[in-house]
Structure 1
Amino acid sequence: MMFSFQWMSSLLWVGLAQAQPSIKNVLVYSDRAEITRSVRTNCKSTPVQIDFTQIPPSVDTKTIRAMVNTKNSEIVGVVSRVVAQEIESDDLTKQLLGAQKELKSKIRKEKEDLAALNSQQSLLNQYERLFYTSLVEEMRDSAASKSKWRSTMNSFREEEADLYAQTHKHTVQLRELNRELTLIDKQIQRRGTQKTEESITASATVDCSVGSAVEVLLMYVIAGATWEPEYDVHFSGSKSDERSVTLITSAIVRQSTGENWENATVSLTTAQPNLGSQSPYPKPIYVDGKERETQKVLVEGQEDRSSFEEGTVNESTARQSRLEQAGQSFSFTLPSKTTIASNGHEHWVPLDEKKGSGSLRNLSIPRAAPVVYQAVSMDNFAPYPILAGTVHVHNNGSYMGTHSINYAAPGEPIELAISETPEIKVSRKTLHNKKKSSVIGKNQKLQRAYRIELVNLSDSSKTVIVRESIPVSKNSDVVVEIGEQTTPNFEHDSNQGFVDWSIELKPKETQTLELYYQLTIPSDWSGP
C-alpha cells in the first residue's frame, strides 16, 4: 500500500529505525532520473520512523513517495526537510582541497603585489610628466645643470626597468599558480565530490507488526541525468552479396544528480513524463482582421524521407538526448548492477545483442554526391525500435567509421554505407530547367531534366542502384509527372519521391540515364 503526503507534525511516540538506506533501482529518462532507495529493519515498536538522509537538494520534493514490501505493514506518512550537510572527505580529497585553498591564497597575494606594482608605475609616470614639464622650463636657462637632468632621467629608467622586471616575475608566477589550480580543480571534479551545504532528509513513518522485518522503499525524481543510444553494427562475409549482421545496442549515460549510484539496478526508458502539477488553462484569443488577396507561391524544400546514411559524422553534441517516441515507450534494464558516479562523464553500458542478415549492393545518389557507395541493406531485426543516434560500422573486423542513424521501427528497412566503390565513376548534369505558361489553360509548367553517366573502370561486371529524387506534392493543385523521355525500367516510390534504376555495368562499360519530370501549378501561383 502506498501513501504520499507532507506530514508537518512529529509524534513523540514514534520509534526511530537505525538503518542505512541504499540506492536499489534507478530509472533514467531523457532529462531526469527516478531513484528508488531501500532499507530493511526490524520493527521494534509501532509505528516506526525511518530516515532517508543525504538526498541531493535538487530533488523535486513533490515526487517523494514511500511504500513497503512487507505484509501487514503500511506507510502512515512521509515528511521531508532541509538539513545541514557536512561532507566527510577522504584523505586524498582533503589534500586536494587543502592544496586548492593554499593556491588560491597565493594567487590572491600575487594579485595584490601586481596591483601595488601597477600603483607604483602610475605614480612614476606622474613624476616623469612633472619632470619633463620642469625640464622644458629649465632648458631656457643657459646656466642650468645638464648633469642633474641626466642623473634624473637615468633614475627614471632604472626605476622603470626594476618595475618591469618585478611585474614580469609576478605575472609568470601568477600564470603558473593558475595552471596548478586548474589541474587541482579537474582532479577534484573527477572524483565526483561536491561540497554541499544542505541536503534533504525524508522520514517515512511505518505502521508494522512488532518483531517483524520490514522493507521500506523511498522513490523520488531528480534532474541532472540523461542517456542516449549508441549502436555497433558488425558485417561479416565476403563470398557473396549476403552478409551476416550483428547489432549491438548500447547506451551513453551521464549523471550529475549530486549522489553516486553505487551497485544499483539501472534501467533506461524512452518515456518523457511531464512533472507539471497543474494543467495549463488557456486564455481567450481574440481575432480580428480584414480580407486581403495574397498570391500563392510554390515553395520547394528538402525533406529527408530516406533511411540511407551516407557515412557523414554527426557533429551535434547535445547535452540532453532527444528520443523519438513513435507512439510508444519502452525501457532497457542493464544486465548487471552498475556504479555510475555523479561527475557528468560519459558512462558506456551494453544493453543487447541481436544477429540477422543483410545484402550488399552498390548504391549511388548522384544528386547528393557523385559517388558509388558499397552499402548493406537490411531490415531492423531487433524486437524494438532503433532510436535516432550514433552507429559505429565494422566490416569483417575493420572499423569503417561512425554514422548517424534515423529512427527505425522493427522490420523497417535500413541501409548503411560501409565504403566507397572507386572503380565506378558517376557524373550528373542538368539538361534543362525551364518554365512554360499555357496559352489556353490556366496552368504553368516547370520542366526539369537531368543526365547521369556511370562508367565501370573495373574488369568485372557491377550492379548499381542509382537513386534520384523528384518533388512530392503536398497540395492537390500541384501535379508532379515523370516525363516519357525518362530512361525506362525504373521504380518510383511516390511517398518518398525516389526514382530507382538497377543498372548492370559490364567491364569498361559506360551507361547513361536521363530523368525528366514536370510540375504543373496554377497560373496565378508564383513559381521559382
Structure 2
Amino acid sequence: MTVQNTPSHDIHAVELSCSDGEMLAVNLYQSRAEVTRLFKLTVKKGQNNVDINGLPSVMDKDSLRVEGHGPAIIHDVNLKEKRETTKSSKPRNNPLLNELRTKKASIEKAESRCTKSRLTLDDYVAAAKPWNTKHDEFVSVMDYYEVTAAQLDEKLLDLERELKEIDRQIKELSSEEREGEKKQISFGFSTFGQTVRIEPTERTASIGVVAESDSDVELILIYAVHGATWRAAYDLRIDTTKKDKPVTLIYKAVVSQSTGESWDNISLTLDTGRPTWGFNLPSLKQWSLKPRPVQTAFFGSGSASPSAFGSTMPAAGSGLFGSAPTSASMSMIRGAPDDRDRERERDCDRQMEHTSSTIASQGSVSANFKIPGSVTVPSAEGERSFTIATLELDALMAWLSIPKVDNRVHLKASGLHLLRIVTEANASIYVDGSYIMKSDLPVISPKERFECSLGLDPSIRVTYHALSKKAATSGFYQKSTIYVYTQRVTIQNTKTSAIPFLKIIDQIPVPEHSEIKVKIVSPALKDPSADVLDNAPRASNKQGFHTSLSEVIAATAGLNVEVADGIIAVWDGADEPDADLRVLGKNGKMNWLCEVAAKEKLNLILQWEVSVPQNMDVIGL
C-alpha cells in the first residue's frame, strides 16, 4: 500500500496509555522477556501522530518494534524519554538524625574531659611522695584518689554505653534513609556540592501513521524488558513397587517478574536461549618464529625476554576495558504473532491433573515451551510455577553400598530421558510418596542416561564382618608366604517387598611389585584376558541402559560368575555402558549384584590369596 501527496498540515494526534493495549503474549527468556501488546485505534486520513505513554522504565530502548494491520502505513517510530531531575543545595535533612549526631558530639566531648581528669588524678597521686608527706596527709590523699577515681571510672563507663547506643540508633536511621532513597530514586550523584537525583524514566513511543482514509487500525508493539526471569525445577517421583516406568519426572518452570507491568491473561512462552550481543568470533593472529635477539647484560643481570613459543591471546573487542563491542543487532526481537498465536488455549475438562506445555520448537541450541491456556503473573509478587512436561521413565532402581567404608545403603535411579532436560536445576525427590531430599540434575541430552541419588534406605542392613587371615609357607629353595583372606558380608532385607537390584562394591589388593602375586579364589572371576575379551558380548554391553538384573546378566555374559540363584559377581564397571573391558579388574574392585527377596538374608564370601617372598616386608598386608 502506498500513499502519495500526503499533506504536511493538519496532523491528527492520538494519545494512548500503555495499559490501553492488550498484552497478547510474553516470550520469557532466562534473564529478560519480550512483550507483545495490541492497540486498537481510529486514525484520520493523512498524517497521524500516535503517542503511547507509560512504557515500562525497565524496557530495553533498542528493542522497540512496531507492526500494524489496516489501510495505513507506519511512517516513523520514535522513543522519547523523560526524566524528572531535582537539585538541592544540600543533602536531605533528617531532624532526628541531626539531633542524635549533636548528642553524640556532646558525649564525645564529655568523654574526652573525663579521660583527661582521670589522667590528671593519676599524675597527682604519682607526685605525692610518702617519705616527704605526713602519714595523715598521705592517707587523706589516697582516700581522695580512691573515691574520685571510682567516680570518674563509673562516669566513663556510662558515657561509653550512651555513645554505643547512639551509634546504633544513627546506624539504623541511616540505613532506613538509604533504603527509602533507593525506593524513591533510580539514580543519584553529587556535583559541585549539590545532590542531583534522577527519577525513574518515563518512556513514550511516538509513531507516525499515514492513512488512506478514516479507518480503524491495529498497532502491535514488541519490546524487551529486564526484571523478568524463569528457572527450571523438577519433581522426581519414584515408586519402588512398580516394575514398569517406576520414575515420573515433572519438569516445571518457576517464573517471576518485577517489570512494573502485570501480565494478565497472557500467552506465555518460555525460551531456554540466552539473548546476547557483541559475541563475535575472535581473530587468530599469525604465529611467527624468529631467532631470539641477542641482548647484552648490564651489571651481571639479564633482562627476561618473551618465549618464542608463547601463547598468543585472541584479539579483544573494541569495547572499553577490553570488553567486546556492543552489536546493534536485536537478537531478542521476534516476529509479531499471527492470529493462531493469539488464540487462547483452554484447559480440558479433566480434573486433578497437571497441564503440560507444548514444545513450540526445539533446536540444537535452545527450545521453546508454550504454557497452555492463559496465565497471569503479577509484578513483584513472588514466584509462580508452571508444569512444562510430565514424563514416565523406564529406570533401573539400584541399591548400592560400599560396606568396607560405610555399611549404609544408598538408593539410586538411572534411566533414559526422552525429552531433553534443557537446563541444570534442583530436583525435589519423592520416594513412595515421601519427600526425601533435594538433588541436582545436570543438563541431559535426548536419549542420554542420567543417574540421580535418592538418599539412604535404612531397611536394608549390611554387615561387614572382620577380615579372616591365614598364613602358610611354601617352596623349597625360594620360600614364599601365602596369605589366604576371607571377607564375609551379610545382607538382610527387612522390607516386605523384594529388592530387585542390590550392588555391593568390594575390593582385593592390587600388587605393585612383580614378586607379589594376588589371586582371587571365590568368586572365580577371570582376568580380562584376550579370550575373555573376544568372547564378551560387546554389543549387548553397549546398549547403554538396563532395567533389571536379568538384563545385566545377559549384557555381562562371559564376564560374570553366577554365585547362586539371583547372585552374580563381576569386576567393577562390567555392567556399565561403554565399559573398557581391557581394564576390568585392574583396580581390584569387584561387585556383587543381587536380587534379595522380602525378609531374606544373604551371605556373600570373598576370598583371595596373596603370595610374597618370605623375607619381603610388604606394606598393606
- Structure 1 length-normalised TM: 0.63
Contact between 1:59 and 1:220, CA under 8 Å: does it hold in 2?
yes
Once the two structures are superposed, the pairs formed by residues 320-335 of structure 1 within 5 Å of their partners are 327-335=364-372
For 2:260 and 2:368, the matched residues in 1 are separated by: 23
1:75 matched to 2:74: yes
What amino acid does structure 1 have at the position aligned with 2:603? T
| CA distance 1:243–1:429, shift in 2 (3 Å) | farther
> In the alignment, is the contact (CA less than 8 A) between 1:43 and 1:209 conserved in 2?
no
Match of 1:63 in 2: 63
Kept in 1: contact 2:59–2:224 (CA 8 A): yes
Q: Which of the numbers 590, 594, 610 marks the counterpart of 1:503?
A: 594
Alignment partner, residue 273 of structure 2: 271
CA contact (8 A) 1:467 1:501 kept: yes
Post-superposition shift, 1:349?
1.6
CA distance in 2, matches of 1:394, 1:493: 26
Root mean square deviation of aligned Cα: 4.9
Q: In structure 2, what residue type is equivalent to 1:262?
A: W
In structure 2, how many angstroms separate the alpha carbons of the residues matched to 1:149 and 1:25?
88
1:62 to 1:352, Cα distance in 2 relative to 1, 3 A: closer
In structure 2, distance between residues paired with 1:176 and 1:20 = 45
Kept in 1: contact 2:14–2:51 (CA 8 A): yes
- 1:381-420 aligned at under 5 Å gives the runs 381=418, 383-385=419-421, 387-418=423-454, 420=456
User: Structure 2 stretches of 5 or more lacking a match?
Assistant: 2-7, 86-91, 187-198, 293-306, 308-361, 468-485, 508-525, 533-558, 562-568, 585-590, 609-621
CA shift at 1:243, angstroms? 5.0
Alignment of 1:51-200 (within 5 A): 51-57=51-57, 59-68=59-68, 70-85=69-84, 105-137=95-127, 142=133, 154=147, 157-158=150-151, 161-162=154-155, 164-165=157-158, 167-169=160-162, 171-172=164-165, 175=168, 195-196=185-186, 197-199=199-201, 200=203
Which residue pairs with 2:27 in the alignment? 27
1:436-515 paired onto structure 2 within 5 Å: 455-458=490-493, 462-466=499-503, 483-484=528-529, 487-488=560-561, 490=570, 491-493=574-576, 495=578, 502-505=593-596, 507-511=600-604
C-alpha distance in 2 between matches for 1:465 and 1:44: 79
Match of 1:230 in 2: 233
Q: Name which of structure 1's ranges 418-427 and 204-213 shifts more when overlaid on structure 2.
A: 418-427
Task: Kindly indicate whether the alpha-carbon contact (under 8 Å) linking 2:24 and 2:36 is maintained by their aligned counterparts in 1.
Answer: yes
CA distance in 1, matches of 2:502, 2:49: 71
Letter in 2 for 1:233: L
Map Cα deviations across residues 425-482 of structure 1 (whole Å, 9 max, x no partner).
Answer: 286999xxxxxxxxxxxxxxxxxxxx99753223786443538799xxxxxxxxxx97
- Distance of 2:112 and 2:146 partners within structure 1: 17
Q: Compared with structure 1, are the counterparts of its residues 353 and 289 closer, same or farther at alpha carbon in structure 2 (3 Å cutoff)?
A: same
Amino acid at match of 1:503: C
How far apart are 1:497 and its partner, in Å? 5.6
Maintained 8 Å contact 1:235/1:244: yes
Query: Deviation of residue 121 (structure 1)?
Result: 0.9
Say if 2:114 and 2:155, in contact at 8 Å, map to a contact too.
no
Report the equivalent of 1:50: 50
Does the 8 A contact of 1:365 with 1:371 survive in 2?
A: yes
Structure-1 residue corresponding to 2:41: 41
CA contact (8 A) 1:246 1:355 kept: yes
* Contact 2:377 2:384 survives alignment (8 Å): no
CA distance in 2 between counterparts of 1:388 and 1:127 reads 68
| Contact persistence 2:423–2:443 (CA under 8 A) | yes
Partner in structure 2 of residue 523 of structure 1: none
Alignment check: 8 A CA contact 1:362 1:372 kept:
no
Alpha-carbon deviation of 1:403? Answer: 1.7
Shift of 1:168: 2.4
Q: Structure 1: which amino acid aligns with 2:528? A: G
Q: In the superposition, relative to structure 1, how do residues 183 and 232 fare at CA in structure 2: closer, same or farther (>3 Å)?
A: farther
Structure 1: segments with no counterpart, 5+ residues: 2-10, 87-100, 293-324, 431-450, 471-480, 516-528
Give the partner amino acid of 1:337: V
Shift of 1:251: 1.7
Amino acid at match of 1:216: L
Deviation of residue 120 (structure 1)?
A: 2.2
Q: Distance in 2 between matches of 1:274 and 1:42?
A: 38
Which residue of structure 2 aligns with residue 219 of structure 1? Answer: 222
SS in 1 for 2:16: coil
Whole-Å separation in 1 of the counterparts to 2:211 and 2:466:
82
Aligned partner (choices 373, 379, 382) of residue 416 of structure 2: 379
The structure 1 residue matched to 2:376, chosen from 317, 333, 338, is 338
Output the CA distance in 2 between the equivalents of 1:414 and 1:428. Answer: 34
State the distance in 2 between where 1:284 and 1:405 align: 40
Q: For residue 178 of structure 1, report the CA deviation from its aligned partner.
A: 5.6
Structure 2 residue aligned with 1:242, among 236, 241, 244?
A: 244
**Per-residue deviation, residues 184-212 of structure 1 (Å, max 9, x unmatched):** 999x89xx966441313332223345532
Change (3 A) 1:45 1:226: same
Encode CA deviations 1:371-415: one digit per residue, 9 max, x unaligned: 54444454334x554532122122333222222112334444444
Distance in 2 of aligned mates of 1:33 and 1:52: 20
**How do 1:236-315 residues align onto structure 2 when only pairs under 5 Å count?**
236=239, 238=241, 240-242=242-244, 245-256=247-258, 258-263=259-264, 264-276=266-278, 279=280, 282=283, 284-288=285-289
Cα distance change of structure 1 residues 28 and 185 upon mapping to structure 2, 3 Å threshold: farther
| Corresponding residue SS for 1:198 | coil
Cα 1:128–1:170 shift into 2, 3 Å: closer
Superposition deviation, residue 117 in structure 1: 1.0
Q: 3-state SS of the aligned residue for 1:509? A: strand
Q: 1:43 Cα shift?
A: 1.6
Read off the aligned partner of 1:509 and give its amino acid letter.
L
Whether contact under 8 Å (2:101, 2:170) holds in the other structure is no
CA 1:368/1:166 → structure 2, altered by over 3 Å: closer, same or farther?
same
CA distance in structure 2 between the partners assigned to 1:16 and 1:426 by the alignment = 86
C-alpha separation in 2, matches of 1:208 and 1:45:
5
AA of the residue aligned to 1:407: V
> Would the aligned equivalents of 2:11 and 2:48 in 1 still touch at CA under 8 Å?
yes
Structure 1 Cα separation of the partners of residues 506 and 244 of structure 2:
27
Quick check: which has more Rg, 1 or 2?
A: 2
